[in-house]
Amino acid sequence: MPIGLVDIELAGLRLADLSKHEGRCLAAVGHFNAGSVLLVEKPIVRPSVVELASAMAQRPGDFALLRGAENLAAAEVDATITEQPFLLEAETNSFIFQGQVVGFHAFSMLNHACASSREENVCFSILSTGDRPVNDDLEVKLIAIRDIQAGEPLRLSYHELFAEPRAREERIRAHCGGRCGCSRCQLEAENPMLAEIGLQLSLERWHPRCQTCNGSASPHTLHSGDAVQILRHRELAGAIGIVQEVKNQSVVIKTVFRGQEHQSKHELDSVRSLSIVKELHRCSGCKLVHFCSRACQRQGWQAHRRFCAGAGGLAKGQIPVDSWITERQALQEIRGRLENPRARQTASAEELLTAFRRFQHFIDKWTQTGRLPHLVPGHYAVQEALLIAIPIGSLLLWKSATMASDVRKEVYERLVKMVSLHCQHVQMLVPRFHIAHWTALHYVLGILLAREFVEVPHTPLAASLVTLFESCLDVAEAFDAEAAESYKSLGQHQQGRSTTEGSRVFQSIASDPAKLATFYNIDPELPLEQKMAQMAQLLHSAGDNKESAGLPVQASPTPMQTLQHQRIQRPLEAHALPKSAEHTQRTCLDALD
């Protein structure tokens, strides 16, 4: 049930009148630390805005805060819809999660600030991954993504972190009258070059480098104003910035880090120049990918040949027929079909594998540094592809018992690289307690749990993900305490048995079509206790005995069993991982080159 003014005050919050444009907004009465849960509210979830408005109209007292022109003045909405009670309120105060229209009472008093801006200070705990049902029974937390000072208005982003520019503009226009004065919007207006380079969300580069050796202009020839990429740094590896000063063997670089302009000093050999490289050789086939020498072209041919197609010469700014825009459009049908968790669940392993490889091909092809043009890994089209490929790959791991071992290895290793790349860019854009960070951690946990059942090699990059998750247990505890506890149980559980034993149990299930069908099709809408009882019974019947399988089968499920079952039913998808080792960041940087 939506909460009211009394609950708001008990939580240490209040309603503040900000301005004529912003209207009323929730504000902090006292100080809150990053990761604090400020408030919890259950939403009203309906398939459409009209149905949400109808539900609100049946309980007008529960949505009293939404009424009044001062709460609606900022939005650009057709005035005719005000003829139906609560329709305008539902239109301008609702959120979209998993294709459902979600309405709140107290949370509707949160104002907007763009993702990766200084003003954004709270987020919802709702995962956009689809493995948690969004319904009227969901308890949604409001979490502080950074320290919040007394009197500070509470603001969250009305759009997703990697939203396409047009979608972001539409959300701001619908809810804020097309006007947003946050620091990110100001940066984009006042210093568009730094905003584009620092955020990387829509950066399309027309300056290629050698596809094989990644060669570029020497860092020792850098000048003020040059664009560079940071190669080695605990937090900034992969960031792109602008040279401010070159002195002796060091360089001062300005970039954007977690929503703020950031200036830092680096050794010359730890940066890569992104200046135009002259005298590069073009591939004679596609004429779009470049190499610095014949030797590099021969060495890089095997990796490039699957992308090579004759396209002819192109002038700068001209969109080739074989462009990332047309390929992205072609992938929309697959995305629309498999974005829904239930659709993925019912898809065959072959269908999932084909889709996974299609998205992988798009990412690999258009992030080639030698391609003209190419997309940086943080580009919204690349991240969009990652955010559908990762859940597909996660599900494939669960269904991989019927696949050849080399295919399992391919999916696992590629999935690890995708998650690592996604984590790296998320952590540069938003604070640790942002929902985008937790979503990325959610993906990591899915990989770790899948290894309990699927026998695949444990690579150094996969080991680095373990380190990353362990460094963020406080984030997991804020968003999902059960997940944090389950990860700890996972570590204790692994001390008593090998991954091979878990794989043997899973293989035993997979060898029996009836058991495998049951494993994949336990009704996700059943009460948790019933779902876990079915899961425990299935695992128990698959092993020789519970000791040899190493899997507990008590009637009351452990946190780990619960989490394993949730991942099996709606495999992980997910937004980071803060501080990690320097070598981990460098490995992630080149994961998709």
| DSSP characters over 314-330 | --TTPPPSS-HHHHHHH
Tokens of 67: 């009424």
Q: Distance (Å, rounded) from C-alpha 369 to C-alpha 441?
A: 28
Look up residue 321 and give its two tokens: 């027929």
- Looking at 273, 298, 315, which one is the last position of a domain? 273
Preceding peptide of 373 cis, ω within 30°: yes
Q: What pTM, to 2 d.p., does this model score?
A: 0.79
Residue 232 CB: number of other CB atoms within 10 A? 16
Q: Are 341 and 233 members of one domain?
A: no
Question: Is 99 in contact with 14 (CB distance < 8 Å)?
Answer: no
Task: Look at the block and give the residue holding tokens 């990053």.
Answer: 34
CA 448 to chain centre: 17
Same domain, 268 and 338: no
Structure tokens at 142: 């409001």
Query: Residue 177 falls within a domain, yes or no?
Result: yes
Domain interval for residue 148: 5-159+163-181
Grouping H, G, I as helix, E, B as strand and the rest as coil, residue 309 is coil
CA R_g for the chain: 25
Whether residue 19 is found in the same domain as residue 129? yes
Element (H or E) spanning 100, and its range?
Answer: strand 100-103
Is residue 52 within a helix (H) or strand (E), and if so which, with residue range? helix 49-58
pLDDT at 555: 35
Q: Are residues 582 and 437 in the same domain?
A: yes
Contact yes or no for 430/438 (Cβ under 8 A): no
Tell me, yes or no, whether 14 lies in a domain: yes
**Structural domain total, the chain:** 3
* Residue recorded with tokens 């099996």: 568
Same domain for 238 and 167?
Answer: no
282 in a structural domain: no
Assess whether 397 and 266 both reside in one domain.
Answer: no
One domain, residues 91 and 142: yes
Question: Residue 34 corresponds to which tokens in the numbers above?
Answer: 């990053």
Q: How far is it, in rounded angstroms, from Cα 227 to Cα 263?
A: 14
> Taking CA 386 as the corner, what is the angle to CA 380 and CA 388, rounded to the nearest 5 degrees?
105
Q: Are residues 385 and 453 in the same domain?
A: yes
Write b or e for each residue in 99-126: b if 16 or more Cβ atoms lie within 10 A of its Cβ, otherwise e: ebbbbbbbbbbbbbbbbbbbbbbbbbbb
Half-sphere exposure of 22 (CA within 13 A, CB side): 20
Q: Residue 2 in 3-state DSSP?
A: coil
Does 343 share its domain with 485? yes
Residue 548 within a domain: no
Residues 230 and 171 in one domain: no
- Residue with the two structure tokens 């120049």: 273
No. of H helices and E strands in the chain? 22, 19
Alpha-carbon distances, residue 373 vs 200, 312, 333 (angstroms): 15, 14, 24
What does the alpha-carbon distance between residue 349 and residue 344 come to, in Å, rounded to a whole number?
Answer: 10
CB burial of residue 14 (10 Å; 0-12, 13-18, 19+): middle
Neighbours of 44 (CB within 10 A): 22
With 0-12 / 13-18 / 19 or more C-beta atoms within 10 angstroms meaning exposed / middle / buried, residue 221 is exposed
Q: What is the CATH number of the domain that holds 103?
A: 2.170.270.10
Q: Distance (Å, rounded) from C-alpha 103 to C-alpha 343?
A: 25
Task: Return left, alpha or beta for 23; rule: phi > 0 is left, psi -120 to 50 is alpha, else beta.
Answer: left
Write the DSSP symbol of residue 432.
Answer: T
151 and 220 together in one domain = no
Name the nearest CA neighbour of 117 among 153, 92, 75.
153
Token pair for 17: 């009148």
Assign residue 227 the CATH number of its domain.
Answer: 2.30.30.30
Distance CA 127, CA 510 (A): 29
> Cα(174)–Cα(93) distance, rounded to whole angstroms?
10
CA dist., res. 516 & res. 399, Å (int): 9
* Spatial separation of the C-alpha atoms in residues 18 and 433, rounded to whole Å: 26
Query: CA-CA distance, 302 to 226, in Å (whole number)?
Result: 33
Q: In the numeric block, which tokens belong to residue 400?
A: 């991989």
d(CA 28, CA 381): 36
Instruction: Give the DSSP letter of residue 307.
Output: G
Of 232, 252, 273, the residue at which a domain comes to its end is 273
Domain-embedded: residue 287: no
At 106 the pLDDT is 92
Is 551 part of a structural domain of the chain? no
Residue 492 and residue 420 share a domain: yes
Distance CA 197, CA 187 (A): 12
Task: Give Dmax over CA atoms of the chain in angstroms.
Answer: 74
Assigned domain for 295 exists: no
Residue pointed to by tokens 């009704």: 523
| 129 inside domain | yes
- What pLDDT sits at residue 90? 85
User: In a structure prediction context, what are the per-residue pLDDT tens digits for the chain, which is 593 residues long?
Assistant: 457 788 899 999 999 988 777 778 999 999 999 999 999 999 999 999 999 999 988 888 888 887 654 444 444 444 444 446 788 888 888 888 888 899 999 998 999 999 999 999 999 999 887 777 889 999 999 999 999 999 999 999 998 999 888 888 888 887 776 678 899 999 989 998 888 888 888 888 777 778 887 765 555 578 899 888 898 888 888 889 999 999 888 999 999 998 889 999 999 889 888 877 767 888 888 888 888 888 888 888 888 888 886 544 444 445 455 689 999 999 999 998 888 877 888 888 899 999 999 999 999 999 988 888 889 889 999 999 999 999 999 888 877 767 788 888 899 999 999 999 999 889 999 999 999 999 999 999 888 877 766 677 778 888 899 899 999 999 999 999 888 887 887 666 555 555 455 555 555 655 666 665 665 565 544 444 555 566 566 666 655 444 433 333 333 333 334 444 444 444 333 333 333 434 434 433 443 33
Residue type, 333: E
Local structure of 270: helix, strand or coil = helix
